[in-house]
Structure 1
Amino acid sequence: MENETIIRFGVFLGLFSLFALTEAVLPRRVRSQTRSKRWVTNWGITIANTVFVRLMAFVLPVLAVGAAVDATNQGWGLFNALMLPVWLEIVLAVIILDFIIWAQHLITHKVPLLWRLHRVHHADVDMDVTTAIRFHPIEIGLSMLIKIGAVYLLGPAAIAVILFEIILNGTAMFNHANIRLPLWLDAIVRRVLVTPDMHRVHHSVHRHEHDSNYGFSLSIWDRMFGTYIAQPEAGHDEMEVGLEWQDDRPARLGWSLALPFARK
């Protein structure tokens, strides 16, 4: 779709800047590490991800949006068979894709090989807007393959996939941000969307807490499937974020990229 990359990148930068500024003015927790080293590492990881996905585009004939265009042209997928109104197709496609990402996230916690990749994200000992872009390139590649397969099965309009990607990226940055929402506002928002306080439970050092609240966008799936935990046992100010590496190692780029291949 024309200008898709520019539009998505512009929205990403705008929202990233907004959440970074907000968490600097209204932080929820005191940082245990300075921004500088963590941000260089987390941005380094996302640059590696971008390069990896671009390389995938040379191997695969299409990526997610291209798959939607191809599915439409070929008449493949559920929505191309149903011929629903465009607005309804977009709404349903976004909801179904969000559930698929929720299920994928849950699976990465349950399958040991996938958890080795996903723990790069969880190893961050602070949680802020850059944690949302801290995923190992191999995990990003696998996620892209899942999205491509889902798009071919569903056959949604390309605009639905673009909107889904924008919503997913935006809400992930929002709920990873170190933002202090008023408790009354958090209670209202989390009825629909995952809030920073809700998702912070998922980044607890305790296994029973980080095996909960898998949602990135909609909060309904965790409530529906019994994986919802409202608050961390230690409270948001005292809880520990991250995994067993409570030092500066997760803030190192080389260590983070090598973590899935470490013996432990």
Structure 2
Amino acid sequence: MSELLLANESLIRITLFLAILVAMTAWEAVAPRRQRELSRLLRWSNNLGLVLIDRLLLQLSFPIFAVGLALLAEERGWGLLNSVELPFGLAWLVSLLALDLAIYLQHVLFHAVPALWRLHRVHHADLEFDVTTGLRFHPVEILLSMGIKLAVVAALGPPAIAVFVFEVLLNATSMFNHSNVRIPLGLDRILRWIVVTPDMHRVHHSIHPNETNSNFGFNLPWWDRLLGTYRAQPQEGHAGMTIGIEQFRTPRELWLDRLLIQPLRGPASGYPINRETDAK
């Protein structure tokens, strides 16, 4: 079964990607959390255009991706988990937790270093919050993220099937927790103990820096709770909060050309963690 999944990795991932995108789009249409104010055609065409550029650059820049590197590490005995004897189930669980923690720490890093924030703010400068926001990342950030992920896989030596499952989950939860969907509050309170929900992650996309610098998790909500970055609700409520950052607030800034050059424009502002203006 594992061999079949890995042999068809690309097909499975693109199929699941499209299925989840369609499902979340339908959910957003039936039960939106917030009223949509901007043209979906404007935002979606540019956000998804960025996705296509990201994918093309990844294919051109890396001869191997995370699952392929995990297979190579298994074959050559690279990494911690290939050097110790652990039951497969435990190695699989440790791998998922370690990879998720690495993504959390990477996310914090991109908020803490002003030069990295310039890249990551392309994601935060979206003026609305929906399923395509979870796919909107600057190409240079995507390349750096892949490099970090490959370094973690090489050092950890996780089972390839665990890396495959993690990659699928990361993509799926990113679309889920960025979606503009309404979940009953009681159910949301339960779900956010096991997965990052849209209401939990929406706080992270608030215009207020103290809220932007909270709720960094993508898959699991535990790191935010354990490491003191959890914030339950936005101060202005989900319906009243302003999405985005203080810069780049006109519809023209949503165009693909502006997204690509955005890291070179303007100051890093007060959003990077521990900057003087962040404390105001």
Shift of 1:158: 1.0
Aligned equivalent of 1:235, options 213, 234, 237: 237
Q: What's the counterpart of residue 48 of structure 1?
A: 53
Does residue 250 of structure 1 match 2:260? Answer: no
Identity of aligned residues (%): 49
Shift of 1:83: 2.5
Q: Deviations over 1:9-33 (max 9, x none)?
A: 1111111111111011000001120
Report how many residues are paired.
261
Question: In the aligned structure 2, how far is the partner of 1:26 from the partner of 1:251?
Answer: 25
Q: Deviations over 1:113-150 (max 9, x none)?
A: 00000000000000000001000010000000000000
SS across alignment from 2:121: helix
Question: In the aligned structure 1, how far is the partner of 2:231 from the partner of 2:156?
Answer: 31
Does residue 204 of structure 1 match 2:209? Answer: no
State whether residues 32 and 125 of structure 1, in contact with CA within 8 Å, keep that contact through their aligned partners in structure 2: no
Q: Deviations over 1:205-238 (max 9, x none)?
A: 0101000000001000000011011000000000
RMSD: 0.9
Question: In the aligned structure 2, how far is the partner of 1:91 from the partner of 1:223?
Answer: 20
TM-score, scaled relative to structure 1: 0.97
Q: What's the counterpart of residue 169 of structure 1?
A: 171
85-94 or 233-242, which moves further after superposition?
85-94
TM-score, scaled relative to structure 2: 0.91
What letter corresponds to residue 37 of structure 1 in structure 2? L
Shift of 1:249: 2.8
Question: In the aligned structure 1, how far is the partner of 2:152 from the partner of 2:252?
Answer: 36
5+ unaligned residues in a row in structure 2: which ranges? 1-5, 268-280
Does residue 29 of structure 1 match 2:34? Answer: yes
The within-5 A match list for 1:1-264 is: 1-57=6-62, 60=63, 62-244=64-246, 245-264=248-267
What letter corresponds to residue 29 of structure 1 in structure 2? R
Q: Deviations over 1:143-172 (max 9, x none)?
A: 000000000111111111110000011111
Question: In the aligned structure 2, how far is the partner of 1:12 from the partner of 1:97?
Answer: 20
SS across alignment from 1:44: helix
Shift of 1:88: 1.8
Question: In the aligned structure 2, how far is the partner of 1:160 from the partner of 1:9?
Answer: 18
